Amino acid sequence: MGHAIRVRGLKKRYGEVQAVAGLDFDVEHGEVFAVLGPNGAGKSTTVEILEGYRTRDAGEVTVLGRDPARPTREWRCRIGIVLQSADDRAELTVRETLRHFATYYPNPRDPDELMEQVGLTGSAGKRIRQLSGGQRRRVDVALGVIGRPELLFLDEPTTGFDPEARRRFWELIEGLAHDGTTIVLTTHYLEEAEALADRVAVVARGRIVAEGDPATLGGRATAMARVTWSDGEIETDNPTAAVLELSRRYDGEIPGLTVTRPTLEDVYLRLIESADAHAGGVPETVGSVS
């Protein structure tokens, strides 16, 4: 079947600004692939090209076996999109909204079953304007998957969520991934990428500066560990030996002991700072990317 997404040499310029400067990456079928980067890195432009809503200047792009620059109705029915912001459809009820959108697809999910899956059964009769932010986002996701897409694009899906709502949303996305949906996620929450993604790509200044499993990205798994305790701290590549030595020194219990390796955020910030240093530019703001 090949890759769900294949990108080679992708470029896009806006006047004097090179937004995307030659990206190469693949996304496998059934994979959750997160794209991370600071503002202006080219993340949203790249995703819009993949969705077929923005033209590219150069490069080869294949999404579900087709060039998104030449979309067909059948191809669009295989793709779901959850934008960062969407039309509220304020006066329709949840049930009316889902039933209406279901008519657009040849083989839609059952709206009532979908409402149960995304936790909206109790809100089926409510108008969209009456819903909380988290409930509205669930409606957006329901609309994104009602056509049984093979590939789902999620653009900053939990912006504005409180921690509890964000965790519930993660469970929903994990369920979709478990059912075999390929997901491309853009987010500025590093813990979200770590919780959901099989692989992540960090984009800076229009280029991918690192790609891989969140647990090993940028040498994270083999980085020096920091061992801290009440009386001091050390960095070591063998924290087990260090803890054993401290245990002997303190004759058992080590006061205030913690052992940590770099977090995904630590690695991400180092990658972005390195990209800025090589470009001779001013560090960009961490956040959503255009």
Separation of alpha carbons 189 and 43, rounded Å? 14
Q: 10 Å Cβ neighbour count for 224?
A: 13
Q: Is residue 29 part of a domain?
A: no
The gap from C-alpha 191 to its chain's centroid, in whole angstroms, comes to 10
Q: Is residue 274 part of a domain?
A: no
Q: What is the pLDDT of residue 279?
A: 65
Could you tell me if 171 and 141 are in contact, meaning their C-beta atoms sit under 8 angstroms apart?
no
Separation of alpha carbons 190 and 22, rounded Å? 24
Range of the domain at 230: 224-260
Separation of alpha carbons 218 and 270, rounded Å? 9
Query: CA dist 196 to 44, 134, 151, 167, 223, Å?
Result: 19, 18, 15, 11, 22
Q: What is the pLDDT of residue 7?
A: 96
Closest C-alpha among 185, 265, 183, 177 to residue 217? 265
Query: CA dist 236 to 207, 220, 223, 243, 264, Å?
Result: 32, 14, 9, 10, 19
Could you tell me if 216 and 188 are in contact, meaning their C-beta atoms sit under 8 angstroms apart?
no
Q: Is residue 253 part of a domain?
A: yes
Q: Is residue 47 part of a domain?
A: no
**Positive or negative: CA dihedral 31, 214, 82, 125:** positive
Q: Is residue 251 part of a domain?
A: yes
Q: Is residue 8 part of a domain?
A: no
Could you tell me if 46 and 207 are in contact, meaning their C-beta atoms sit under 8 angstroms apart?
no
Tokens at 120, concatenated: 């909206």
Please tell me the total count of domains within the chain: 1
Q: Is residue 252 part of a domain?
A: yes
Per-residue pLDDT of the chain (290 residues; tens, 9 = 90+): 679 999 999 999 999 888 999 999 999 999 999 999 888 888 889 999 999 999 999 999 999 999 999 999 999 999 999 876 655 567 899 999 999 999 999 889 999 998 888 888 999 999 998 988 778 888 888 898 899 999 999 988 887 777 877 888 888 889 889 989 999 999 888 889 999 999 999 998 889 988 999 888 877 777 778 889 988 888 888 888 989 988 988 888 888 899 887 888 888 888 888 877 776 554 443 333 34
Q: Is residue 273 part of a domain?
A: no
β-strand pairing of 199-204 with 182-186: unpaired
- Residues with Cβ within 8 Å of 60's Cβ and at least 6 positions away in sequence, in order, are 6, 7, 8, 9, 10
Separation of alpha carbons 3 and 165, rounded Å? 32
Q: What is the pLDDT of residue 134?
A: 79
- Residues with Cβ within 8 Å of 154's Cβ and at least 6 positions away in sequence, in order, are 82, 141, 144, 173, 183, 184, 185, 186, 187
First to last CA, the chain: 31
Alpha-carbon radius of gyration of the chain = 22
146: phi then psi, degrees, rounded to nearest 5: -65, -25
